[in-house]
Amino acid sequence: MAELTLIFDGRCGVCTRAAGWLRRLDRGGRVELQASQERGVREAFGLTRSQTDVEIWAFRVQPGGQDVMVSRGAGAASVALDVALGTRIFRAVYRFPPVRWCADRVYAWVSAHRGRFPGITPWCTQNPGACEDAEASGANPGACGAV
């Protein structure tokens, strides 16, 4: 069973590329990756589309099986790297205030401009039956990876 669930934007090619990169780093299967557009994912984790459209979200399974939100955005990326690699270094560095301030701003900028970066075929395009319909989900046609 995975230690961490990472929710990412499955309509974004850059996000899908990053998720694949994390999957390759995670040789122990400690991080479960789920596209936010998969049916029932947002509801299961208590997230809204507006939340998942701009940031990744990390949840840990607590004793008793309940998922608890650990972090979002750049903080979630640092947690996911630590869990995938079995280390604590990324989260420790991220907690240092100047690093956190800078990482959060870089993450927000990249998120806002991700359509300009090279990606791969978005997860939802690769798995169309698993994702909500683009119109029903309210996907923004100008957003990265929107179908």
In this structure, is residue 43 part of a structural domain?
Answer: yes
In this structure, is residue 55 part of a structural domain?
Answer: yes
Total tally of structural domains belonging to the chain: 1
> Residue 66's pLDDT is what?
73
In this structure, is residue 143 part of a structural domain?
Answer: no
In this structure, is residue 144 part of a structural domain?
Answer: no
In this structure, is residue 131 part of a structural domain?
Answer: yes
In this structure, is residue 129 part of a structural domain?
Answer: yes
Q: What is the DSSP string of the chain?
A: --SEEEEE-TT-HHHHHHHHHHHHH-TT--EEEEETTBTTHHHHHT--HHHHTT--EEEEEPTTS-EEEEEETHHHHHHHHHHHHT-SHHHHHHHSHHHHHHHHHHHHHHHHTGGGS---S-HHHHSTTTBPPHHHHT--TTSTT--
In this structure, is residue 146 part of a structural domain?
Answer: no
In this structure, is residue 96 part of a structural domain?
Answer: yes
Per-run averaged pLDDT (10 residues), the chain, 147 residues: 94 95 96 96 95 96 80 98 97 97 97 91 93 55 39
Domain extent for 46: 4-135
pLDDT tens digits, one per residue of 32-63: 999 999 999 999 999 999 999 999 999 998 87
